Structure 1
Amino acid sequence: MLKSLYLKLKEKQAKLIRDGEPAGMFSIVKLAFSGVVQVLLGRWYFTKRTTSGRLMMVKGRPLVQNYGDIKLGDHVKIWSIIQQSKLFVKRNACLKIGANSFINGAHISVSESVTIGSNVNIGPYSVIIDDDFHPVGSGSGESYKKPIVIEDDVWITMNCMIMKGVRIGKGSVVAAGAVVTKDVPPNTLVGGVPAKVIRDLN
């Protein structure tokens, strides 16, 4: 754990230097203390029915209601800076978040299954929900709960909605304000309501 934290601090120091910000001993000590606090907060907020990887970090105060199962990879970050992150996992449901993924101010509601890959960024005010909570129209035979899969290296920007049954392919980007109701191919930029393909990112 200490070695991982040291390597993270070296990365932060290099970033401070690139950004032209102070990167002296005081700044590094401050970063180290902040990192330790964020790791401890991660353990505080994610204890019940949670499996956490190394150096899972929390900044701010997320709202976590977990009656199912949460599995977090290494170096997952859950921030509540711009907006409070809210994670609701119902009984017998599962939320998986892969390594190095970053969530800031998103609302994730899991009634069955939500799987988020590695190196995924999810921006503020975004909503990921695998359940309509009631059928649409009387006598509808369609299931109103379907799993969501967000593959590796996806960027979900601000104020997006990811609806039930959706798979977002690896390397894709969801533009601000988009409502995703259908699968997104890999390496694709989508946007709009409902979301449509804007261009191929290859």
Structure 2
Amino acid sequence: MLAEIKKRLLVGISPSKRRIRLGLKSFVLGSLGRNLRLGGRDIVFNNSNNIYIGDYVFIGSGCYFDAISRIAIGNGCMIGPRVFAVSGSHNYDSSDLMAVPYDRRQIDLPIVIEDNVWVAGNVSLAPGAHIGEGSIVGMGCTVAGYIPPHSVVLGKKAEVVKKRSSERYEKLVEEGMVYGKVFAGTGFELVDREELD
């Protein structure tokens, strides 16, 4: 009972007020959807008014979001632990550069994560990263550009190694079979790869 009360005091999520409370820190987001789940209290939201989070999203422990420009996370996204996302960048190379290594102007480079994307652990999202709907970003990748919908990307440079079945994806979405909506909090079932078709 005491542990449950402590938990409620340390993590508070209020979609109507767009507010997240993590321990003594409180963040007001640009928008906050329903049923956000957080994997820990060590998540950081800098410039939180530029962060927009959809419905049924999970954000893992140790994530760091710095929204100099907008960061938009779509519905049904799963964000693994220790994801590092910084939108916007310093002006360091314009013809009218006023100082080195950069001047005081920030370049507007938003980060967009479309619906039903899985971003695995230890991924870095560079300013201007855009991940298409239904894509999977493997652990340790650095995303610095556009990833097409239904892509599976791996490696330091986030190269597309596979395309997911668009037909299967669309059917599951149409049926409402989105992980954060259907299986959230139920645990996992361990299977051998050979058992899957």
Q: TM-score per shorter chain, which class?
A: 0.5 to 0.7
Q: Distance in 2 between matches of 1:198 and 1:39?
A: 43
Query: What residue in structure 2 maps to residue 41 of structure 1?
Result: 11
Q: 1:73 to 1:39 in 2, by over 3 A?
A: farther
Q: Structure 1 CA distance, aligned partners of 2:23 and 2:78? A: 19
Distance in 1 (alpha carbons) for counterparts of 2:152 and 2:135: 6
What SS does the aligned partner of 1:193 have? coil
Alignment CA distance shift 1:182-1:35 (3 Å): farther
> What do the CA deviations read for 1:160-186 (whole angstroms, capped 9, x no partner)?
011111211111000000000111111
Q: Is residue 126 from structure 1 mapped to residue 83 from structure 2 by the alignment?
A: yes
Report the RMSD for the aligned CA atoms in angstroms.
3.3
Q: Percent identity?
A: 25
Alignment of 1:33-182 (within 5 A): 34=4, 37-38=7-8, 41-43=11-13, 50-51=17-18, 61=23, 69-80=29-40, 84-89=42-47, 94-105=50-61, 106-132=63-89, 134-137=90-93, 139=95, 144-182=107-145
**Aligned pair partner of 1:184 in 147, 169, 174:** 147
Deviation at 1:146, TM superposition (A): 0.6
Following the alignment from structure 1 to structure 2, what is the Cα–Cα distance between the partners of residues 177 and 156?
A: 10
User: Per-residue deviation at 1:131?
Assistant: 2.3
Partner residue, 1:23: none
Instruction: Show structure 1 runs of 5+ residues with no match.
Output: 1-29
Give the letter for the 2:146 counterpart.
Answer: D
TM-score, normalised to structure 2, is 0.66
* Structure 1 position 71, deviation (Å): 1.3
Tell me how far 1:38 sits from its aligned partner.
Answer: 4.0
Please tell me whether the aligned partners of residues 62 and 80 of structure 1 are also in contact (alpha carbons under 8 angstroms).
Answer: no
SS of equivalent to 1:87: strand
Gaps in structure 2 of 5+ consecutive residues: 98-104, 166-197
Provide closer, same or farther for how the CA distance between residues 64 and 125 of structure 1 changes in structure 2, counting only shifts above 3 A: farther
1:65-107 deviations in whole A, cap 9, x for unaligned?
A: 65xx4311010112316xx2111116xx521100110001211
Larger RCO of the pair (alpha carbons < 8 Å, separation 6+)? 2
CA distance in 1, matches of 2:24, 2:53: 15
1:33-70 alpha-carbon deviations (Å, 9 max, x no partner): 84995488314xx79xx525xxx8x7x6485565xx43
Would you say how many aligned residue pairs link Structure 1 and Structure 2? 156
Cα separation, 1, equivalents of 2:24 and 2:136: 25
Contact 2:9-2:23 at 8 Å conserved across structures: no
**Cα distance change of structure 1 residues 194 and 139 upon mapping to structure 2, 3 Å threshold:** farther
In 2, the alpha carbon distance for the partners of 1:85 and 1:173 equals: 21
Taking the aligned partners of 2:24 and 2:130, their CA distance within structure 1 comes to 25
